[in-house]
Chain A
Amino acid sequence: MNLFELKENLNDSGSLITFSGSFSHGIIEELGTAVRAYLESETVQKSAMMDVFSVYIEAAQNVRNYSGSAPDGILVIARQGDHYEVHSGNVMDGAHVAELTARLEKLVGLDKAALKALYKEQLRQERPADGGAGLGLIEMARRASQPLSWQFRPLPDGRQFFSLRVVV
């Protein structure tokens, strides 16, 4: 493995923190603390810091909860000019691609007011069977300054690698 090139690639992408591996809850907490310490040292406004932190938590918890029995994934928090970006990636069951795509596409067309209305509607729904709240993607879209963007990459075993980019 060429760690120098890997590190150069991450630096070129503006990466502040990158984690690849098994997402335990403890790791999510630790990285969260590191993210906040960094943003505080940059004297980022509190509301902007909360936006980045909130997107980070929702993205990391999604990776942990939706990547199957081995919660393996990658998460990058990066800075690009005035913006922060949270990238997350994980392998998922190919059977859920259509549903996830439909949910994401629905969010892309909505402005802030419509996203708030959808959030409130979802808040009043019964919890989905997975025990989540069904609110994570809507929350990320509300905090984002640009529409969410994503990619699926098919794997030989029929599963898919899902990557999501949120610009705050």
Chain B
Amino acid sequence: MNVLTLVPTASTPEVRFDPESGVLLLKGESYPENSLELFRPILSWVEDFLKSTTLPVKLEIGLTYLNTSSIKSLMDLLDLLEDAHRENREVTVTWFYDEENDRALEMAEEFREEVTLPFFVVPQK
């Protein structure tokens, strides 16, 4: 499998998914014109990765803002990982948030409430 890399823009996040390490990085902001289009290759890459390897999956999120359409798409990604976790795949999610931003913490917590997989919410200065 190839590394999935998307270069960030003002309204789309940096994406770097590495099939060797199992680290999936999402960083920046997400309020694209069309979140379905943005997330389609991301979701299909993760589906392939889950099928074609047995490596642990480490999703690292440093998203500072998501519009509601992106929130829905990120939920789809977390649902994929949740299913894998329920089938005994080793999956962890780590969400880094700006410790001065209460809203960013709330957003992370609201995603955490939706899943049972190990989900760490980590403040950053």
Contact = CB atoms under 8 A, between A and B. Distances in A.
Interface of A: 25, 28-29, 32-33, 46-47, 50-51, 53-54, 57-58, 61, 116, 120, 123, 127, 131-133, 135-136, 138-139
8 contacts: A25-B33, A28-B11, A33-B10, A50-B101, A120-B110, A131-B34, A138-B68, A139-B68
Contacts, number: 62
B48 interface: no
B10 to A, nearest CB: 5
Interface string B82-125: 00000000000000001011111000001001100000000000
Given A29-B10, A57-B31, A123-B75, A47 B102 contact: yes
Contacts of B104: 46, 50
A25 B67 contact: no
B4 interface: no
B65 interface: yes
A47 B100 CA distance: 8
Contacts of B11: 25, 28-29, 32
Contacts of A47: 101-103
A53 B65 contact: yes
A29 B29 CA distance: 11
A50 B103 contact: yes
A57 B67 contact: yes
B68 A135 contact: yes
B103 A131 contact: no
A98 to B, nearest CB: 23
B72 A127 contact: yes
Contact of B67 (A33, A54, A138): A54
B116 to A, nearest CB: 15
Nearest to B67: A57
Contacts of A53: 65
B71 interface: yes
A46 B100 contact: yes
